Structure 1
Amino acid sequence: MVTISAALPCVLSLNNHLTRMLNSVRQLTGLVKVLQRSLKHRFKGIFVNVGMEESDEHSGQLPFSETIYMFSALLDPNFCLFWLDHDVLAAEDVKRKVKEKLLDMTMSEMENVSFPVGSSSGEDEQEEPPAKTAHLFMGYHKKKKQHVTSSAMTELNAYIKVASEEDETDCIKFWSRHMKDFQKLYHFAMRVLGVPATSAPVERVFSHGGLIMRPNRSRLTANTLSNLIFLKCNTVLE
């Protein structure tokens, strides 16, 4: 299950909801302001990255300022760039700059993705056919159209168009279906979307390990313990 992609849209949507509440409720406005202020402080890195807050040069590393939150939201077809249009409460020129910066960073990452051995990058080299023997009127034949490989920009724009038109709610199924259509973007998406949003899944792995490695099973080898934990944590895949 993909979880990292929901972090940024959830924070921005919650902030948008609190902003609307300030304009509609008459009571408890102080509570709403405190909640919104706390949200912006806790996730300040996200608000700075989308142009809704100014960065303090002396604050050091801001919380949640990593670009993976923007990358994952973009690469999840359920969110894509919808959060930028609906929940980024900033001027249109600010939104445009954020969008351009995000797309530029994504294309740069796509170019740096290394493809696994045996996979195709969409730029397979085709063997040239053997030269034909010269004959009369040989030069009259039409030239064959050369194969033009899609650039990172073309692939990214095509993905955004498809994501805005399809109603697929399962991110994994979407990328499984389009892995050959957006090969460069697919490999980058698998790297980004595989990151868990919290440490809870990792903590559950250690919990399973503690339940398996009991005092009466102290002679288990490291390899056997690793295999048992793997099977226990992946029983839902059966």
Structure 2
Amino acid sequence: MALLYFICKDLRPFHIIEGEGFKNLMKEVAPFYKVPSATFIKKKLAEKYEVTSLLFKQRLLNAEWVCVTCDIWTETMAEKGFLGLTVHFLEGTSMCSRDIGVTELKTNHTGEYIFDRMRFILSNWNVPISKVRCVVADNGANMVAGIRLLVGESNYLPCFAHTINLISEATLKDDVIKVIINKVRNIVKFIKNSVNNSDKLRKIQIDSGASEGSVKKLILDVSTRWNSVFYMIERFLLMVRPVTIILIDNSNAPDMPSPQEIEILKQLLPILRPLEYVTKEASGERYVTISSVIPMLNCLVKQINLVQTANDIVKQVKTTLLKEIDKRFAKIEFNSNVAIATLLDPRFKALHFQNATACGIAIQKLKQLVKSTTPSSSDGGAGTGGDSDDDSTNKEYDFWEIHKQLAMGQRNRKRATNDDEVTLYLSNSVSYLKSSPLKEWEEMKLMFPMLYKQARQFLVVVATSVPCERLFSKAGAIMTKNRNRLTSKHLDKLLFLGGCSHEEFFA
């Protein structure tokens, strides 16, 4: 079983155990152990999947609500299309997630066909459609059509990270900025694609006093992830001097950005930094994300506005960025799933709403939901815990500085005393930023039993479909040239078992 765990967890091909090197290793480690065949391991894969999937189905059965993320991936070697699904649910105060399906798409990717495949995967895991709180995906027309057929218009949520990516792409389309970024990209490729240049870069850093462990490499951006452009620029600016030395010594080197262009990059980075933070923060799987969308957007706009620049080109980038954010998120506060989740996050409540009408609508909808809710009989306290938001020892970039100022003002207001759960809850002070909203609700569920049930329903939703993108990153690692005959059934099982913890796998 340990061999199977090794193959699933480390994304190894089955035939690795039949290689001469592996057999020699096992002979040294365990001389009397007979290494099984790949056929035997495949059989054990099916058996282990059968047992482990049954246990996971029970966990899904116990979940009140689930959120699903989905995406389509094309495997380039075999030119096959795959639909992937991940499921997210709450267990106590923990956010849980798992890859539950990678199925090959054998006909045209129509909305009806995608709907059929999604329904098939959910059915395999005994997840009724009525339990699916939201489906999160990018805005591809066929994908959206399939999701609407599955759960309806109101329960489709566009991927927040995908929208941020579109905003970034539109912002960085400025002709001057594109030229400078292309210069940086060409330099990064020039150095990374040459062993000699890479060695020189390393040697220059060591000669300057850097230790082996602190030597840095240049970063090349990836077209599908805008924040990789940010990391590429950030690292380049950090290494301008050693890079310049390498380029000067090479007549075939690409053009170095001028001092004026480097200054533009330096002034551009603080404008992009809040966007990078939001992209990273929204893509988590182990903590609540949907309720942070509206607060992050409010802080994002204000953080960008705080950045001062004297450069006209950077000023234009800043203006474009703010316009793009406004254009693509203009109606976000009217999205019930996002707005109500924000209200139900004890850290934020109504603190960050910029549209009073949208906030009022969300509060009224929440009150209507509470009226139709049966109280929970679970035990719990009524307080709200957490440590102070004040972190005066941390002098680094603080994205949430604006939120902390708002929270401080809200805590000084007079609280409501009536017995309306929603009004009383919203009038209480917000929890501290570093607190867990799920743990906060466990402490408040006796005081707000109806709201507690709504919180468990709305906070299960994730903000992005990044978990499904991570699933396909794993799939890509599995579908190598050594494994291009791997069936989609084996791929599905490998990905599921690879997502198991050590305790789950050996249970």
Deviations 1:100-131 (A, max 9, x none): 3221111112223466xxx439xxxxxxxxxx
Q: 1:102 corresponds to which residue?
A: 362
SS in 2 for 1:231: coil
Q: Which residue of 1 aligns with 2:301?
A: 15
Contact preservation (8 Å) 2:370, 2:451: yes
Distance verdict in 2 for CA 1:27–1:45, change over 3 Å: same
Q: Which residue of 2 aligns with 1:129?
A: none
**Alpha-carbon distance in 2 for matches of 1:219, 1:166:** 46
Which protein, 1 or 2, shows the higher relative CO under an 8 Å CA cutoff with sep ≥ 6?
Answer: 1
CA distance in structure 2 between the partners assigned to 1:41 and 1:102 by the alignment: 21
| 1:56-105: CA deviation from partner (whole Å, max 9, x where unpaired) | xxxxxxxxx52111111111111112213xxx2xxxxx63x444322111
1:16 match: secondary structure: helix
AA at the equivalent of 2:297: V
- The amino acid of 2:363's aligned partner reads L
Of residues 184, 188, 195 in structure 1, which corresponds to 2:461?
Answer: 195
TM norm structure 1:
0.57
Q: Partners of 1:234 and 1:112 in 2: how far apart? A: 40
Q: Please state if 1:156 is matched with 2:422.
A: yes
Distance 1:229 1:154, change over 3 A: farther
Q: Which residue of 1 aligns with 2:344?
A: 75
Alignment equivalent of 2:311, drawn from 15, 18, 27: 27
Cα displacement string for residues 115-153 of structure 1 (whole angstroms, at most 9, x for unaligned residues): 6xxx439xxxxxxxxxxxxxxxxxxxxxxxxxxxxxx97
Q: 1:120 aligns with which of 356, 367, 377?
A: 377
Tell me the residue number matched to 2:371.
111
Count of aligned pairs: 174
* More displaced 10-residue stretch of structure 1: 182-191 or 26-35: 26-35
Cα offset, 1:204, TM superposition: 4.1
Give the aligned partner of residue 172 of structure 1.
438
Paired residue type of 2:344: L
Distance verdict in 2 for CA 1:165–1:76, change over 3 Å: closer
SS in 1 for 2:327: helix
Q: 1:109 to 1:219 in 2, by over 3 A?
A: closer
Query: Structure 1: where are the runs of 5+ without partners?
Result: 50-64, 89-93, 122-151
What does residue 5 of structure 1 align with?
A: 291
Tell me: CA distance 1:18–1:233, structure 2 relative to 1, closer, same or farther (3 Å): farther
Please identify, of 224-233 and 28-37, the stretch whose mean Cα deviation from structure 2 is larger.
224-233
Give the aligned CA root-mean-square deviation in angstroms: 3.9
Matched, 1:183 2:443: no
Letter in 1 for 2:311: Q
CA, structure 1 residues 227+219, in 2 after alignment: closer, same or farther (shift >3 Å)?
Answer: closer
CA positional deviation for 1:39:
0.7
Distance 1:212 1:158, change over 3 A: farther
The answer to whether the 8 A contact 2:290-2:341 is kept is: yes
Q: Deviations over 1:186-207 (max 9, x none)?
A: 1111110000111122444566
Change (3 A) 1:38 1:120: same
Aligned residues of 1:77 and 1:168 also touching (Cα < 8 A): no
| Cα distance in 1 for residues equivalent to 2:489 and 2:364 | 53
**Residues of 2 paired with 1:163 and 1:206: CA distance?**
42
Contact 1:2 1:196 in 2 (8 A): yes
- Distance in 1 (CA, whole Å) between partners of 2:422 and 2:446 is 13
Alpha-carbon distance in 2 for matches of 1:3, 1:233? 26
Letter in 2 for 1:156: V
1:2-32: per-residue Cα shift (whole Å, max 9, x none)? 01111111112212333445xx544343221
C-alpha displacement of 1:161: 3.2
Unaligned runs of 5+ in 2: 1-286, 379-417
CA distance 1:227–1:31, change in 2 (3 Å): closer
Q: What's the TM-score, normalizing by structure 2? A: 0.29
Residues 234 and 3 of structure 1: CA distance in aligned 2, closer, same or farther (over 3 Å): farther
